[in-house]
Amino acid sequence: MTVLFVPHANDAAGVSRTRRLFVDLKKRAVPVATNDIIILDEVNLAAILSRRLVDEHAWFSRGQIDVEQFNNTIAGNASALCSIGTLYDVIRRILSKALAQTSEERAELKDAASVRLPEPRIDYYYRRTVAYFEGLARANARLGEYLEGGAASGIAQLARSSEERNVLVRPVGQQVYANAIAAIASAGGMDAALDLARQLPFDLAAPPYADVIWDTRRQTMRGKGLGLATRLLKHMFGFGEEDSERLRQEYGLSVGRPRARLPDSIVRAQS
């Protein structure tokens, strides 16, 4: 049996070096599990940003993120907003299309999962990530109250109650919004997309979420529907697909009303 001894310094530079070594070795032997990437990877930008938010930012470091869980579900009575796995997934979804503002930045991010960016660039994308969540908090006052108040505030449970059903206090809701805002930001910029988001409904019992990602009969989240909900949000933003009849048919099938109309566009509603 071959045994390798690796010297380790228990400071910031030493921890970073050991993490990189561990992940590099695992990448060349057995594929690294997503859980390990989130916890240890010192190259993958989404992992670095996820850990930094949980370590440094008051909105994420006071129990708002469940650091013991990695799946994309959370109990209705949980005090956390989501797992660190969901946070990582959201950041990964918005990186190249919402956080990047120029073609040069989008090119820079193509290798951001395999090549560590310089520290000033990591700092830049950290600020952009914070700006994204600040925009969500402005769009959804209840989410802002929760992020400010922390897990002990009890706001998460209230926002998930049958009276509120707030979409952005659910992991799937965070993913749907990340998908839609990323797609729209690629054309009009993140700030414009987040401003439009203020006009969207946040009640899961309302279109486009009802009977797509929310089961109105059982009053529970649905395991499927993330993709359809994303496409419906893009339609409401005015960035819908060309074949709107196909989208309408899929929506009608999901809600159990074949003749159901697509949700109204918020762009038309504003004009």
Q: Can you give the pLDDT at residue 5?
A: 80
Q: Is the dihedral of CA 62, 54, 97, 209 positive or negative?
A: negative
Of residues 19 and 262, more confidently modeled? 262
Q: Can you give the pLDDT at residue 261?
A: 94
Mean pLDDT, residues 237-241 taken together: 78
**pLDDT tens digit sequence for 145-174:** 999 999 999 999 999 999 999 999 999 999
- Residue 220's DSSP bridge partners are 215
Q: Report whether pLDDT(36) > 70.
A: yes
256: left (phi over 0), alpha (psi -120 to 50) or beta: left
Q: Are 70 and 61 in contact (CB under 8 A)?
A: no
Q: Can you give the pLDDT at residue 271?
A: 43
Q: Report whether pLDDT(232) > 60.
A: yes
46-82 in b/e form (b: 16+ CB < 10 A) is bbbbbbbbbeebebbebebbbbebbebebeeebbbbb
**pLDDT tens digit sequence for 172-231:** 999 999 999 998 898 889 999 999 888 888 999 999 999 999 999 999 999 789 999 999
**Nearest-CA neighbor of 168 among 132, 134, 211, 204?**
204
Q: Can you give the pLDDT at residue 29?
A: 65
**pLDDT tens digit sequence for 243-257:** 789 999 999 999 999
Question: Quick one: what percent of the chain has pLDDT higher than 90?
Answer: 67
Q: Are 211 and 255 in contact (CB under 8 A)?
A: yes
Query: CA–CA distance from 118 to each of 24, 47, 168, 178 (Å)?
Result: 18, 15, 32, 25
Q: Report whether pLDDT(270) > 60.
A: no
**pLDDT tens digit sequence for 78-116:** 999 999 999 999 999 999 989 999 999 999 999 898 889
**Token pair 């799946």 is at which residue?**
71
User: What's 153's DSSP letter?
Assistant: G
Q: Are 117 and 45 in contact (CB under 8 A)?
A: yes
**Residues 170/175/180/181 CA torsion (nearest 10 deg):** 90
Q: Can you give the pLDDT at residue 30?
A: 64
Query: CA–CA distance from 122 to each of 50, 99, 159, 167, 224 (Å)?
Result: 12, 12, 33, 30, 34
At residue 148, the 3 state secondary structure works out as helix
Query: CA–CA distance from 56 to each of 17, 18, 119, 260 (Å)?
Result: 20, 21, 16, 46
